[in-house]
Each structure stands twice: as C-alpha cells, then as structure tokens.
Chain A
Amino acid sequence: MSTFLGMPATAPRGVGHLRGDESFPEAARKALGNEQLRRNLAHATTTIRGKSGAVVAELPDWQELRSAGSALKAATMARLPELLEQLEANVTAAGGVVHWAADATEANRIVTGLVEATGHRRVIKVKSMATQEIGLNEALEAAGIAPVETDLAELIVQLGHDKPSHILVPAIHRNRTEIRDIFLREMPGVDPALTDDPATLAAAARRYLRETFLSTKVAVSGANFAVAETGTLAVLESEGNGRMCLTLPDTLITVMGIEKVVPTWRDLEVFLQLLPRASTGERMNPYTSMWTGVTPGDGPQEFHLVLLDNGRTAVLADEVGRQALHCIRCSACLNVCPVYERTGGHAYGSVYPGPIGAVLSPQLTGVADNASLPYASSLCGACFDACPVKIDIPSILVHLRNEAPHPRTERIAMAAAAYTMDRPALYARAQHAAKLSRHATRLPPPLNGWTASRDLPQPPPETFRDWWAAR
C-alpha cells in the first residue's frame, strides 16, 4: 500500500489504549507465570464457550445468520460515507447534535468540552470500548471531571486502577477475593464487614451505583449499533446500569466508532440474534436500549453523538484487512482462542485483546506500532469458526504478517531458505547437511525457544527422495 496526500491517518500515539508497553511475547511470558490468572481464564472461557455453544446449536439457521451478518457488514462498509451522512441528518432532525472526530485527541477534546459546558464535574459511563480506546477517562480526569464506570466489571477495573482484559468481561482476570479487597479499599461508603460472597459484592456495587445514578446529570455511552435510516442509537447490556445512564441524566454523550452504523432498522434483526448468542450465550439480550434524538419531557434533553474515526478509514482502505471493521465486539473469538486462554488480555497491550485485537489494533495504529500482535496466534482457525459475522481472522493475520517489519536475521534466513528450496539439487544437499546436526538436541538462539521445552527429532539416515531414487 503506497501513501499519498489525503491518505487516511492511523490512530495517533500518546493518547488512548491501542499500544502496549512491551511486545506480545514479553508480556505473555509474565502472564504465563501467573498460575491464578491462568486458572481464572481457563475456567471463565470454558464456561462461556459451553454456554454459547449450546444456544448457538439451538438455531437451525445459525450459518445463514452468520452469512447475513457478514453480507450486511460488507454492504455497509461499501457505502460508509453515505450512511454516516444519512445518520447525521436523522440524528440532527430528531434533536441531537452530531460531532465528527478524526482521532482520539479530537474526540476527547469534544467530549470534555461538552461536559464542561454543562457545568457538572462528574459523568456516569456505560461500558464502552470506543471510550476505552481513546482514553476518555484519563482525558476527563485531566480536566477535573470524574468519570464513574457503572458496568460492574468496568467498575472493578476502574476502582482497582487496572486495565480491562476482556472485551465483554473486563475483570475476567480477577477473582472474588481480589474484588472484595478492591471494594474495601476504594469504594466510597462501603460496609467494612464486606465478604467475598458474589451476591454481597453485587449488592455493595448496587448501593454505590444507585446513589451515583440519581445524583449525576451527564452520561457518556458507546453504541453497539446506529441505524442510518432512523437516526436511532442502540446499546446492549446485561445489568440494567446502561439503561439507568441512558434515561436518568439531562445530557447524554455517545461516542461511536464509525463502523457501527447499519443501514436500516430491519438489519438489527440479524445482529440482535447473533450478538447475545455468540457473546454471553444468551438467547436474547437482557437490556436493549434504543433512542432517537431527544424526546421532550422524557429522558435526556440534550444528546450528542461523536462519530470516531481514529484509524478506521485507514483499515477500510485495506482490501484484506477491512473485514476487521465488521466486528460486533461479541468476544466469541477470545473465548475460543488457545493463546488468549493462556496469556489473558493484558498481554495484547491494547483494549482490544484476543484474535480480533491481534488484527484490529495493528491496523488502527499502523502495523509497525503493534508488530508482534499479528504473530500472537498459532493460526489454528478457532476464531474464524466462532465469529458470528465470519471475519476471516487467520487470513488477516497472515496478511498483516506480510506487512509487518521483520528482524534482519530472520529476513536473511527466510530468503536463504527460499533460495535453497527453489533449487532441488541445492535443497537435497541441504537435507544431507541437516544430518550433520544429528546429535544437537539444543539449538542456539534465536531457535532455543523450541528446545527449552521440546526435544528435536533426529534427522533420519535417508531422506524420502534418496529412498525413492534407490527403489
């Protein structure tokens, strides 16, 4: 892909959470050493996998639904500018205000300005990947505004001064004892006799959040879908906290990645079947909230929609990679991924972990800024089979590996191997040379990763082609 003036920009550095501090193999090594983390993850992903698998199997037309979801997304992406303008017109006609943000910096500035204009210093938040992506909480805090996460798991992560490690279950890496300790330390007004009983922990969070809902006038949400033909926004959640945020405050600000638009109301019938079954293993989503602009005397009286690019049009420009934008954030790929199951979400360094993160983050930032992520997969293909909108993640991984910067020594070795393999006589000589290393059971760096825990097979005395020639 060559660049030219007007080429869409990738997400800027220094803001938001799309880049990790270390490479995937380094971060994964630390995670692998944490036995408790691995047990928590294996237990949680196995449970969700089983539940989702069972409800998916109930639908005789699941494969057709997947194909429909995939086709709808592809058709939407093919005319994204037009649909976004239609969405803007309809949101505006319904009394909302639409803002366009080229990147994280601009989106944070817009939202911060909107909150400051209300005169309030606290906002309640609906769980949102887009605001995590742009680091909105940090930007609000820097402006003296307190964001309060109202999704239970996001609240645990926020109070723990931690980072989310799963798209759907951000605190999947925490067990209940750790959660009790966080609540005791950080939650205002918590009962000091708090136990680690899940119901008691949930009750403590509920008591704290109810007070916050009733006394906060500004809410910030993301959006799962936006319907272009009606200007309707939709948020899907399981706890009801989202609905509180979307209905109680005076002002509602929604930050939405531009890929979340769907053309018509009817398109939702496909996604509202796909998302809950793939995601939480539920037949129907518990709380689906939809709103169109503002309604006098009912709900927020001021509504702002921030349309976020932050690298998305750059992804759209890539013929192979663009299908990563079809993602509906169900996290099914995380729950089936053997790499995610063992390393957890933090190893990916981005708010988007797991297989989808391994293809989305490097594209949003530019592959050079997340060069180890396309390699954070054994290409086993489980993610492709699980994806409710059929994103061919393995093919995008292979494509991005081809775009990634390669270490010099590897480049030389690969070129030499290809040169040899394209010359059968030379290749046969190299096969015989392999026999010279017959008793080398440990390899030198950088190949010693293999022999740290595996024995190398001994090359046989005779290659197949020798045997065939002598037959």
Chain B
Amino acid sequence: MRIALFVTCLADTMFPAAAKATVTLLERLGHEVVFPPGQTCCGQMHINTGYQRDALPLIRRHVRTFAPYDVIVAPSGSCVGSVRHQHAMVARGAGDLSLAARAEDVAGRTYELSELLVDVLGVEDVGAYYPHRVTYHPTCHSLRMIRVGDKPLRLLRHVRGLELVELPAAEQCCGFGGTFALKNADTSAAMLGDKMRHVLETGAEVCTAGDASCLMHIGGGLSRLGSDVRTVHLAEILAASEA
C-alpha cells in the first residue's frame, strides 16, 4: 500500500526518531511510504489557543498537500484529532464550505499509527523486539478525541521481549495540553507531578505513548527529577527489531 506520511511539526523538528521509526516500520511491513514535501503544521496550536484565523492558511495547506493520497498516517493522536475534528469546523466558521468539504474528505483518509496498523493494515504483530519493562500512557486525544481504544496495547502485547506494566490512573491527563502548559504552568506542573509519580510506581524503564507532545512533557519532568525512566514513542518500540 502507498501511504502518505503526515509527520507533524513537532516530530519533524524535535522528535524525528518517531517519524523515522514510522517509515522503518511501514516499509518493513511491505508498504511504500511517501513524504508530501509541502506539509508543515496542521494548525492545532493556533486553533486550540484561539487563533482560528491564523490557522486557516495552515489548514488550506494541509488539505492541499494531502488531498492526492488515499491513505495518510501520523504518529500522533492529537494531530489526527485536529485534522478529524477541527479542520472542517474552522473552515465552516470562516464560511469556506468548499474547504470544509475537502478537509472532511482528507480527514476520512487520515489515521493515527495504531489505527492504521490494526484497522487498515489488519496487523497486530508487527514483528518487533524490545526487551524492556514498558508502561503505556494513553494520551487524552488518542483516548477521547479519536478513540484508539486498546489498539496500542494490542500492538505492544505482541512485541517480543517486552514486559507491559499497567500505569495507575492511566486515563488522567499528563497536564500538557499545548499552550495550557504555558498559560497555566503551575496547574500543568501539578498534573505532571501525579503522572510522573504513577509512572515511577510502575517500575518501568520506559514510558511510551502515541503522542510526542505528551512524551516531551512527561520526559521533561522526569529529566528534571533526575529519573532514568525514558520516554519513547510507540512507533520507535514497534520499529525496533532483533536485527
């Protein structure tokens, strides 16, 4: 299958390993990955901070860039959530009904990585090997905005050598929330404090999730604590192999 990679601006700039791993994984499964070069950012930060007018050109760009592809994947539940639930809404709010229709069309072909693997490609065992004790944080937008359910866990359970440990209060927000972490830094830090306590309680070596943003937040907190628990994107675990 020919799959277009929507890399997300955060993964492109700060966490390329997650995006490279997505490519490695999909190619290992026998698929062709293409990277539409006109892409930059889906505009989620602008939309969620209250700048829908500024987001509009980014939505236009995103829709134009990805319109030619049948299957689009992003290693981020949050950005897929924005594409699926916000692009058409913002376009409609601006009175651009044609853009709204095209945005809905692109959204219908856009998948988060675990959705693509399980629902579209019909695979749960991706042939990964990752000999570590791992806990999984479901991330709010994967869980409640696009509802990936237990797909990431099903994928992780098939990874050889991996010991999956349950995260207490897993469904509670880590406190990132994009610019929430800046505008309400103290509240965000309090939420992060509880999330880190729960991660540390599991005794895991690695905390994983399907969103680089939440991992950046949790990882930034753990690093400040001097903890040696690492944050690793789900795609990197699934791409890891014995060879």
Residues of A within 8 A of B (CB): 24-25, 28-29, 32, 38, 338-339, 342-343, 372, 374-382, 384-385, 395, 398, 400-404, 406, 410-411, 414-415, 417-418, 421-422, 424, 427, 431, 434, 446-447, 449-450, 452-457, 459-460, 462-465, 467-468
Contacts and interface: CB of A to CB of B under 8 A. Distances in A.
Contacts of A450: 181-182, 185, 220
- Which of B17, B55, B173 is packed against the most chain A CB atoms within 10 Å? B173
Contact of B144 (A25, A382, A398): A382
Contacts, number: 183
Given A28-B187, A339-B184, A402-B52, A422 B61 contact: yes
Interface string B203-235: 000000000000011011101100000000000
Interface string B107-131: 0000000000000000000000000
* Leading 3 A-B pairs by shortest Cβ distance: A449-B185, A378-B177, A401-B50
B67 interface: no
A431 B93 CA distance: 31
Contacts of A379: 48, 140, 177-178, 180
B223 A380 contact: no
B240 interface: no
Contacts of A465: 7, 12, 35, 37
26 contacts: A28-B186, A342-B191, A377-B177, A378-B180, A378-B188, A379-B140, A379-B178, A381-B143, A402-B50, A410-B49, A411-B51, A414-B54, A417-B46, A418-B58, A421-B58, A434-B14, A453-B185, A453-B189, A453-B192, A457-B219, A460-B16, A463-B13, A464-B11, A465-B7, A467-B16, A467-B20
A343 B182 contact: no
Interface of B is mostly: helix
A385 B141 CA distance: 12
Nearest to B17: A460
B76 interface: no
B38 A424 contact: yes
B154 to A, nearest CB: 22
A415 B50 CA distance: 12
B193 to A, nearest CB: 8
B131 to A, nearest CB: 25
A338 B173 contact: yes
Contact of B220 (A376, A417, A454, A462): A454
Interface string B1-44: 00000010101111111011001000000000001011111010
A173 to B, nearest CB: 16
Given A385-B144, A422-B58, A447-B182, 18 more contacts: A338-B191, A378-B188, A379-B177, A379-B178, A381-B145, A384-B144, A414-B46, A417-B46, A421-B9, A421-B40, A453-B192, A454-B220, A456-B220, A460-B14, A460-B17, A464-B12, A465-B37, A468-B23
Contacts of A385: 144
Given A454-B220, A460-B17, A381 B140 contact: yes
Given A402-B52, A453-B224, A454-B192, A378 B173 contact: yes
Contacts of B41: 421, 427
A431 B40 CA distance: 11
B66 interface: no
Contacts of B181: 449-450, 454
Nearest to A465: B12
B40 A427 contact: yes
- Which of A32, A343, A467 is packed against the most chain B CB atoms within 10 Å? A467
B57 interface: yes
B42 to A, nearest CB: 9
A338 B89 CA distance: 26
B225 to A, nearest CB: 9
B183 A25 contact: yes
A415 B35 contact: no
Given A421-B40, A422-B57, A375 B217 contact: no
B175 interface: yes
- Which of B52, B86, B183 is packed against the most chain A CB atoms within 10 Å? B183
